Amino acid sequence: MNKIRKEDLVLILTGKDKGKLGKVIKVIPGKKQVVVEKVNLCKKTIKPSKDSKGGIVDVPKPISWSNVKLIGPKKTPVKVGFLYKDSKKIRVIKNTKEIV
């Protein structure tokens, strides 16, 4: 089970987008990477087709999940741990033991 999941709010710790907040679009566990919306954007050209006009589009690229930190309910960066409750693994904030 990953500490960061889809739809989580995260803070970017390193790189050109350092300090930005964003929502996780996709998690790639095999490569230990996450895709965050409006962060680490790259230009991509698209050919015209029947459906689209084509042109240059901004596409978010994956970044390592060691370079992001989860934002808790109080809008502060938090560390995540796990607890077992009723034979289920649950994500919790390490300091306050709140369920994420």
Domain ranges of the chain: 9-93
Predicted confidence at residue 52, as pLDDT, reads 87
Cβ atoms 98, 92 nearer than 8 A: yes
DSSP 76: S
pLDDT of the residue at 2: 86
CA distances from 72 to 59, 91, 99 (A): 27, 12, 10
For the cut 90, the answer to whether the pLDDT of residue 100 exceeds it is no
pLDDT for the residue 79: 94
Region 13-26 average pLDDT: 96
pLDDT above 80: residue 62: yes
**Residue 36: both structure tokens together:** 């965050």
CATH placement of domain 9-93: 2.30.30.30
Task: Yes or no: say if 37 and 29 are a contact pair by the CB < 8 Å rule.
Answer: no
Q: 64 falls in which pLDDT band (50, 70, 90)?
A: very high
